[in-house]
Amino acid sequence: MDVSADMTATGLSRETLQTLVEIYGRAYPRVLDLARKLPDGTARLCPSNPDIVAQLHHALAEEMTVSLQDFLLRRTIIGQSACLGSIATRLSAAGWARWPGGRRAGSTRSSRPITPRSAEPALPKRVIRAIVRSA
């Protein structure tokens, strides 16, 4: 699939766009729209992987992701790379112990469900800044 127009429109690399197409298929423009709306939405979660911040928000709002591990291991290639440890460390350093929606990171039990299509960003801004700053 030719992603040249999206490269120009978003500033994302060909590698990132091709990864989005491979993961989301025809629905990848929804992730691009979300990336444009979020602060740092187009920032990579890890410099050596093409996955971006908007994918994490999309997974929370649209895919019923149950934990950070679920996202990193099943929905990206980060779980199979050296980035896995660095992201977990950065999230811990940012003081982010709870998964959005009341879940403890790593837990599949919830005190309240994650609300799909929430108007609020799924991650606190301080967490996004911590992820992007140290990437």
Considering 11-20, 78-87, 109-118, 126-135, the range whose residues carry the highest mean pLDDT is 11-20
Q: Which domain holds residue 11?
A: 4-133
pLDDT band at 65 (very low <50, low <70, confident <90, very high): confident
pLDDT at 76: 83
For 5-57, how does the pLDDT look when each residue is reduced to its tens digit (9 = 90+)?
999 999 999 999 999 999 999 999 999 999 999 988 999 988 888 999 899 88
pLDDT at 100: 54
Query: What are the two backbone dihedrals, phi and then psi, of residue 79, each rounded to the nearest 5 degrees?
Result: -65, -15
Q: Which of 64-73, 78-87, 108-117 has the lowest mean pLDDT?
A: 108-117
- The tokens 């005190």 sit on which residue? 111
Q: Is the dihedral of CA 74, 77, 81, 84 positive or negative?
A: negative
On the 0-12 / 13-18 / 19+ scale of CB atoms within 10 A, 12 is: buried
pLDDT at 15: 94
Residues written for the chain: 135
| CATH at residue 117 | 1.10.8
End-to-end CA distance of the chain: 28
Mean pLDDT computed over 106-130: 46
d(CA 131, CA 67): 17
Domain count, the chain: 1
